[in-house]
Chains A and B, each alone.
Chain A
Amino acid sequence: MINQTSSMPSSPPQAPLVVEMRGIVKRFPGVLANDHVDFELLHGEIHGLLGENGAGKSTLMNVLAGLYRQEAGTILVKGEPKAFSSPRDAIKAGIGMVHQHFMLVPSQTVTENILLGLDDPRFIMRLPDYNTKIAELGERFGLKVDPRAKIWQLSVGEQQRVEILKMLYRGVDVLIMDEPTAVLAPQEIEGLFVTLRAMIAQGKSVIFISHKLQEVSVIADRVSVLRRGIATASGVPSKGVSRQELARLMVGRDVIFALDKKPGRPQDVVLEVTDVHAESDKGLPALRGISLNVRAGEIVGVAGVAGNGQSELSQVISGMRRCAQGQVLLNGDKISNRNTLFGIQHGMAYVPEDRTHVGSAPNLSVTDNVIMKNFRKPPISKNGLLDMKAATKHANELKLAYDIIVPTVSTPVRLLSGGNLQRVILAREISGLPAFMVAVQPTRGLDVGAIEGVHRLLLAQREAGAAVLLVSEELEELLSLCDRVYVIYEGKIMGEVMIGDDEPDEGAALSLSKGLVDTIGQMMTGTPLDQIQKEGVAAHD
């Protein structure tokens, strides 16, 4: 096993150990997130930490960063045992973490965010002095950002740079990056990698958490893998291990990438979005003339880096946000700038991005949650009264049909796991036999089994002749499910690509999708499709 080879002193490590974690145990109510995990980081390396969602990677690193406290196990930093009771302690020991969800105060400036929690300045802040200092530091590591800008004015990529600067300003030697590429476009990822290598060159070490195999094997010197809280590999040189093997270590079985996707039979246009403009919550333009359509019997994807208007688009379509210009037609009826009820009554289903804050009522029962869309109609409702017997029966049927694991349907949904909650939402939305469905990030944060289930349900909708609009940040997901993909950037559609649905042999598929990924990636960073094609032609000439 890889585990043993790495812990055997067969090849003595060239660089000294910076961090050593031994037998880390961390429990959350109902879950054993880390089960006696060992982890080692060498000086001057980029160490990839691989694992599926929920495997315990972030938990392990949160322990190292002082945010959580382990129940058992020891941490040594440069050979000295350390007990961190807060992130501040960890930073003092030279360990800093950039979280997946940025820890930046939106209403404050870059400089203010970087100074937060430091002892200097003591009391009175003279910001201009610090602005120059921070600009210089950014220069050194190729992290360009305006120190006087307020966080909410920055793009996601710039915010990530602020997070890294925050740690560098504190003089950390070890930087933990939690899923840093999840929010970046392919080209931005390149820039991040350049920065990380610059940091290594200046004597820092990096831990790179990811669930994306390919990235880790590109950037990391060594790799550790976690599966369900257990380390299945620690410190394997990334050159010496195949992707296939890493995948098996991550998932515990051979991964089946192929989905049973039948050839598409698209029919009439169901959803027609024409030149939609809308503002974000902050009052900034979020959509600037979006046009797209979805036909019955096809899944249409919307690809893009988070925060480019996807959320606003789905909200305009579902009726939860007003649009300033343009319109949305559902089977010919105008549904934009009406209320959500109109869409519901005209056969729209909506799987929102935020399961707990939008898609469900946490303290109400499963029954109350599954009747959210059909409580106005018989058999659930008669003459303004609710037939709770019929509602319970309905809930129990859905529980069986969609494998919702819950003791009784009167359990409040806040007690459900993410996957189970998503099944409740999908059960509710699909059982209404929608003509059209918007699904936003339906698999985010779910484990592999749950993701497969969601994918199968979406494909079943397509088979049943529904029109599905799938908004996702996972390119792989879009490529395997969709018939067509639109790419959105800063509230505009950069282009539309067709995904072939016939199954060529594996090699061809790979090169095909390689070219597709490149094209989509370019569009995700703001190059319109026609320009890419023009340049492509020009290159041929």
Chain B
Amino acid sequence: MDYTIILQAGIASGTVLLFATIGELFAERSGVLNLGVEGMMLIGAMSAFSTTIATGNPWLGVLVAMIFAGLISQIHAFIVITLQADQVVSGLALTFLGAGISLVLGEGLSKAGTVSLLPNFSIPLLTLIPIIGKIFFTNQSVLVYVGYLLVPLSWYYINRTRPGLHLRAVGEYPSAADALGINVFRMRYFYVFVGGMMAGLAGATISLAVSPGWFSELTTGGQGWIAIGLVIFAQWDPFRAAIGAYAFGALRRLILDIQGPLVLFGFANPFYYNPYLGFFLQMLPYLFTVVVLVIGSREALRKRIGAPAALGNPYVRGERGL
């Protein structure tokens, strides 16, 4: 087994989680919890794949996926921002809705065959770096490189720019932001839309790059939920989100690849000789998410850092203060 190849593929599959996690991170930073990531990712995967089949242009597929998922997210935005409903239940509803719509519109897509995918390429000089060059910069999808840029840019945007300052204020203390003329409602709609687009991009990354095709609900296989868990682990910080996402991506690849070789660490590979043990391997990402949550939550308790203070609360303006 060549571990660099597993890690290389792991980075690609982690990019899916990275997009979804960063998108959710933006929505949560503005104070809106959107549990509908899984549904939006399905919408994205389905629409990217179906657009690419219809037009032959994967870039158009990515664009349609982001817009469609972004629009779907606005249902959640309307319900929780304007109608002030419970964010948990509305997010669940969005998951159902996204899954349902993508199943209906994706009917027959799974037999549609292969499509032209997004290009893979290597970064000339960086590939020469030992190990790292191979893992990160050799023959990766263009979206993987987009992911590399996204992480520092997101951090910089949140912590060092004026819109980022406003984003943090809206998620921490919306009435303070409102009193200074920041439009809390518009900001929240916008960042929920950003979250939706990123989830759509994550879906498109699956169906056009990482594991091409449309396999109904199995396409995402709960990665949207893992992303939400990763936001908690990441403590709303893009760099920590990246660590979590790539680690999970690597884990997913490892599980697929570990069943192949006859010999593992010099022993007979139990997963090869008893394929049923593979079901336990399948559990790992999900169990690992729970473990990561325990770590993240304990750390948050200890350091007394938490979610954005207004996360989950509707902002009501003009209500009497006391």
Contacts and interface: CB of A to CB of B under 8 A. Distances in A.
Direct contact of A and B (CB under 8 A): yes
A282 B181 contact: no
B60 to A, nearest CB: 30
Contacts of B322: 418, 445
A68 B316 CA distance: 12
B180 A108 contact: no
Given A91-B181, A105-B176, A117-B166, A123 B320 contact: no
A103 interface: yes
Q: How large is the interface on A (under 10, 10 to 19, 20 to 34, 35 or more residues)?
A: 35 or more
Interface string B274-318: 000000000000000000000000000000100001000000001
Contact of A283 (B165, B175, B304, B309): B304
Chain A interface, >50% SS class: loop
B172 A67 contact: no
A283 B302 CA distance: 9
Identify the interface centre among A67, A97, A100, A166: most chain B CB within 10 Å of its CB. A67
A106 B182 CA distance: 17
Nearest to B181: A88
Contact of B162 (A87, A106, A125, A166): A125
A363 to B, nearest CB: 13
Given A68-B318, A108-B165, A117 B160 contact: no
A282 B304 contact: yes
B308 to A, nearest CB: 9
A116 B320 contact: no
A103 B165 contact: no
Given A86-B181, A418-B322, A445-B322, A104 B176 contact: yes
Contacts of B161: 123-125
B163 to A, nearest CB: 7
A87 B179 contact: yes
Contacts, number: 81
A203 interface: no
B162 A103 contact: no
Contacts of B175: 103
Nearest to A97: B179
A122 interface: yes
Interface string A80-96: 00000011110100000
Nearest to A445: B322
Contacts of A106: 172-173, 309
Contact of B179 (A89, A103, A123, A418): A103
A106 B171 CA distance: 12
A185 to B, nearest CB: 22
Contacts of A104: 173, 176
B321 interface: yes
Contact of A87 (B166, B181, B309, B320): B181
Nearest to A122: B162
B172 A116 contact: no
A244 interface: no
Contacts of B178: 67, 86-87
Q: Which 9 A-B pairs have the closest CB atoms?
A: A88-B181, A117-B180, A103-B176, A105-B173, A103-B179, A445-B322, A117-B181, A105-B172, A105-B169
19 contacts: A69-B318, A86-B178, A87-B179, A87-B180, A97-B179, A99-B179, A101-B321, A103-B173, A105-B173, A106-B173, A112-B165, A116-B165, A116-B180, A117-B166, A117-B182, A118-B180, A124-B161, A125-B162, A445-B322
